Homo-oligomer: A and B are copies of this chain.
């Protein structure tokens, strides 16, 4: 068994190569550019971890892992176009560097390349792997569309936000683990548990991300604290605050979002604290983490094999808030 860090290093060594032809460099260099900016490679490593949970790591798991990482990068290129994001991983986004049209096409060809990696797989798994991959890819597109839809809406319910976040980010983590499990030869029950482990872990991580945006330590968070508040994002915190705040506090929140005063972040945070949104968010995160861990426990393999996944979960979700 390998830890996340060990598998991360093994994957990076294999993945750190040119994935595209040398010709038509005006198309392929922009695609390769994003891949070379790195990233944590959480999803492909989850393919390998899901695989090693049941057996020694199969060559096919590396193909699936590469396919997943290429899919993730495809979605980043297109999301960055849609969000008009100037920076990614501390560098200019693909469209900022090469123009929107080329970025659009580079994303397209990256998605095709993901399918090329999947098609390297042994015939026996190809159909099942493609089915899960296709369902996940559609779900991620749905999540992104809902995210854009929600930006234009005055109110979003917690249930709707949860569904959007699940589609946009959690199902890819869940499917990565399940892909590894499929290639590890395990049955439907274990596959379902590892999928739910990933899905709930992904949601817990998103709750934490929303929490840290509001209450994180600026010296360790990595992003601008209060960024979601400044951008009027409908996060877990804001949605719940609008649901539980008294009439006056709710009206204040709504005015702050429209007026954008200089002290907006501080005043929103004060309302969050008054409504104990920080405690609520920590409890919500803990709830999803516990559900995830319960599904991990229910997988029918020895506890020893589960140690790296449990370690990953507790590493991703910091319980010191």
Q: Considering the complex, give the chain B residue whose CB is closest to the CB of A143.
A: B24
From residue 111 to 158 of chain A, which have CB atoms closer than 8 A to chain B?
111-113, 115-116, 119, 123, 126-127, 130-131, 134, 137-138, 141-142, 144-146, 148-149
Most buried by B among A102, A108, A123, A130: A108
Given the known interface contacts A119-B127, A119-B130, the answer about A24 and B148 at a Cβ–Cβ threshold of 8 Å is: no
Q: Mark A151-167, 1 if CB is under 8 A from B, else 0.
A: 00000000000000000
Distance of A19 from chain B, by nearest CB (Å): 12
Distance of A77 from chain B, by nearest CB (Å): 10
Which residues of chain B are near A146, meaning CB under 8 Å? 24, 26
CA distance A149 to B144 in the complex (A): 30
Which residues of chain B are near A105, meaning CB under 8 Å? 78, 82, 141, 144-145
Which residues of chain B are near A26, meaning CB under 8 Å? 145-146, 149
Q: Considering the complex, give the chain B residue whose CB is closest to the CB of A141.
A: B109
B142 touches A108 (CB 8 A): no
DSSP class of A's interface residues: helix, strand, loop or mixed?
A: helix
CA distance A234 to B23 in the complex (A): 22
CA distance A126 to B128 in the complex (A): 12
Cβ of A101 under 8 Å from chain B: yes
CA distance A24 to B164 in the complex (A): 11
Q: Which of B104, B107, B138, B145 contacts A112 (CB 8 A)?
A: B138
CA distance A102 to B144 in the complex (A): 9
CA distance A131 to B137 in the complex (A): 19
CA distance A62 to B113 in the complex (A): 25
Cβ of A238 under 8 Å from chain B: no
Most buried by B among A82, A112, A131: A112
Which residues of chain B are near A113, meaning CB under 8 Å? 138
Distance of A165 from chain B, by nearest CB (Å): 15
Q: Mark A22-34, 1 if CB is under 8 A from B, else 0.
A: 0110110000000
CA distance A108 to B136 in the complex (A): 13
A81 touches B104 (CB 8 A): yes
Q: Which of B102, B104, B115, B145 contacts A102 (CB 8 A)?
A: B145
Q: Considering the complex, give the chain B residue whose CB is closest to the CB of A144.
A: B105
Distance of A98 from chain B, by nearest CB (Å): 10
Which residues of chain B are near A148, meaning CB under 8 Å? 101-102
B111 touches A108 (CB 8 A): yes
CA distance A107 to B149 in the complex (A): 17
CA distance A105 to B119 in the complex (A): 24
B104 touches A145 (CB 8 A): no
Q: Lowest 10 A-B CB distances belong to which pairs?
A: A27-B145, A109-B141, A82-B101, A112-B137, A24-B142, A119-B130, A116-B134, A26-B149, A112-B138, A105-B141
A to B CB contacts below 8 Å, 16 in the list = A24-B145, A24-B146, A26-B145, A27-B141, A78-B108, A81-B104, A107-B108, A108-B108, A108-B141, A109-B138, A111-B111, A116-B138, A119-B134, A123-B123, A123-B126, A126-B126
